[in-house]
Structure 1
């Protein structure tokens, strides 16, 4: 008698060019290598990544439900369609992983079994607890959402923040993000960039990434290496304007979103990250997979779990960041750090499977 493969379903709003989206595709590959049948369900058709033929892809559009008044009512009606779709098209999966807040806010109403949430961000920073008008109400909402299924945090820092603010509300663990080292190295050899002897920053133009601090710190160096900014986002126009204000037009290059960023990373002298917050800091681990030195702000979670202390710098400190960039420009290899083989996709998928089995 043929034994049926175990089935895993990863749910996310869309597959646009972000770290959470890349995580889903990479973890899916890890489960495929564990001999799972892998399905990915999204609520928007948007895709900005190459999709592996090893995985099965589904779209169930949320857009028609936008006409329904009341966000919670919309989500409750939509999740019934999600549950029906999954049971009819896939069957009851052995593991369902909800990724990012939009999917979490929908799947918290689901009647399907074997759901777990992947917590990608430091909740207190993502939801700005320190600026929220009614933080107790917000915490209650998050507690109600996350207490009904196990949670997997992408770093120890994210887990500590979760339990500190929401308490011991559900089975929880920390598992680092998967990094497809061989795949990244192969993609990195696709071409050689036209630029040479440069610094690279990879990240969406959004508030948390603090491109403004990066540029102000870079402006205080001797700018002996050009700074390449890879990404897109709603704050890009503001950052372009800041480049002009700081007279850095000849030094800063906007690369836009790149489906394959890895050749740009591989050939950089070093990678810099100046974020206020990160969950895991996927871009750091990817740079380490390519033996590229990294300097990063010491966010509440993420970078300190991947980098030695001398590669870290204080958040929101333009002078300290400027000094570290100058040091890296004069001796980038001082900021080299080894890649941890424990975060290869098949090993991380195995950790997910073990945790879900323990919590069933």
Structure 2
């Protein structure tokens, strides 16, 4: 049996990478692999559900720990000491489930995989020079670098061309069966008929401000349209203020973070995703799996994910977004088409797990 150890920055904040790792842990064959996982930073927002046979190791630090900055300094500048104390040495393969901190803690002399979940162009910023150099050193320790989209691959090649031969592309996938099951759970939240869902953190990258700008135009054409934000973040007050300024606050709702958003998402007529940057948006695939079309900016793997007209539309400007949203409000997607959307996502996940197992078996 092959022993595989995952290192993730945080496994308790409800993010996309956390959900993906949980799905992978559920999908990998427990008769072939002995699995362990450790998070560097522990939060209290959402603890991902994982199989009982996965061994969970103590986290390195709490999100609000008084000495967190000091402990993070050690991850960056004394990582060998941190590895010796916190990383078990008896695993066959180690997988860092993102770049920077998780990859720093990969032990030397082992079979290592660095898994990158988005582009890494932020390492070109003037204040990231040290991190860029440390990432190059960390990449020296790895056998393979997994990238999740063409753009992620390009960013790694642009910044670290000497590691070109280590790159393996594995597009993200969702566990469609699990999502469908969770979507059938009871929810007290009921959406209006012409509802638009925004699912994600209310931050600069997810761009909730642009969503309100688009909705302002939608409601001019569809007076009964409603916009629902699922998520939390620093831009909530700004979006609330804009809704009041545009006099549409009665049609905009903030549902906060939801442990299980799927019973809500599946009620929507359309999902709006206007991120400035994405690796491979799990939210897009989740909505499609539930038969909800997605109007998305042209980021990450959106062109690949939105594989049919019923699945949604990739847009380049606000006018296209408004037209697409109004179009989806005027039609119903057939049950047969929704079943096709689900079965496509389900098949992709099965193939995805097989590809991961092949990577582990052949490294």
TM-score normalised by L of structure 2: 0.83
2:28 counterpart residue number = 31
2:72 and 2:302 map into 1 onto residues whose CA distance is 38
Shift of 1:257: 0.5
SS of the residue 2:78 aligns to: helix
Offset of residue 172 of structure 1: 0.8
1:107 match: 105
Contact 1:10 1:28 (C-alpha < 8 Å) held by counterparts:
no
Q: Following the alignment from structure 2 to structure 1, what is the Cα–Cα distance between the partners of residues 97 and 132?
A: 19
Check if 1:327 corresponds to 2:322: no
Distance 1:237 1:340, change over 3 A: same
Contact 1:10 1:39 in 2 (8 A): yes
Q: Which structure's relative contact order is higher, taking Cα pairs within 8 Å and 6+ residues apart? A: 1
User: 2:9–2:102: 8 Å Cα contact kept in structure 1?
Assistant: no
In the alignment, which residue of structure 2 is the partner of 1:284?
284
Q: Distance in 2 between matches of 1:167 and 1:67?
A: 32
Q: Which residue does the alignment assign to 1:211?
A: 208
- TM-superposed CA distance for 1:349, in Å, is 3.2
The within-5 A match list for 1:118-197 is: 118-124=115-121, 127=122, 129=124, 132-133=125-126, 140-149=133-142, 150-170=144-164, 171-192=166-187, 193-197=189-193
Q: 1:128 to 1:246 in 2, by over 3 A?
A: farther
Task: Tell me, in whole angstroms, the C-alpha distance in 1 between the residues paired with 2:234 and 2:104.
Answer: 25
Q: Distance in 1 between matches of 2:217 and 2:55?
A: 49
Q: Tell me how far 1:329 sits from its aligned partner.
A: 2.1
Name stretches of at least 5 consecutive residues in structure 2 with no aligned partner: none
TM-score with structure 1 length normalisation?
Answer: 0.84
- SS of 1:286's equivalent in the other structure is helix
Taking the TM superposition and a 5 Å limit, the aligned residue runs for 1:272-351 are 272-299=272-299, 301-308=300-307, 311-315=312-316, 317-331=317-331, 333=333, 338=341, 339-344=344-349, 347-351=351-355
Contact 2:173 2:285 in 1 (8 A): no
Tell me which moved more, 322-331 or 132-141. 132-141
1:206-261: per-residue Cα shift (whole Å, max 9, x none)? 11111111110110113432111101122222222222222221111111000001
Cα deviation, 1:172-212, whole Å, max 9, x if unaligned, reads 11112231111111110001432232111111111111111
Residue 50 of structure 1 and its aligned partner are, at CA, apart by: 4.4
User: Equivalent residue of 1:220, what SS?
Assistant: helix
Structure 2: how far apart are the matches of 1:188 and 1:220? 30
Secondary structure at the residue paired with 1:145? helix
The alignment's C-alpha RMSD in Å is 2.9
- Paired residues of 2:231 and 2:258 also in contact (CA < 8 A): yes
The answer (yes or no) to whether the contact 2:6–2:97 under 8 Å persists in 1 is: yes
Query: Which of 12, 15, 20 pairs up with 2:8?
Result: 12
1:236 matched to which residue of 2? 236
CA contact (8 A) 1:26 1:180 kept: yes
Deviation larger for 168-177 or 282-291: 168-177
CA distance in structure 1 between the aligned counterparts of 2:172 and 2:233, rounded to whole angstroms = 23
- Give me the whole-angstrom Cα distance separating, in 2, the residues matched to 1:7 and 1:352: 14
Q: CA deviation at 1:118?
A: 0.9
Change in Cα spacing, 1:79 to 1:215, as seen in structure 2 (3 Å) is: farther
Q: Sort the Cα spacing of 1:112 and 1:103 in 2 relative to 1 into closer, same or farther, 3 A.
A: farther
CA 41–69 in structure 1, closer or farther in 2 if over 3 Å, else same:
closer
Q: Give the C-alpha shift of residue 112 in structure 1.
A: 5.8
**Secondary structure at 1:350 match in 2:** helix
Change (3 A) 1:77 1:162: closer
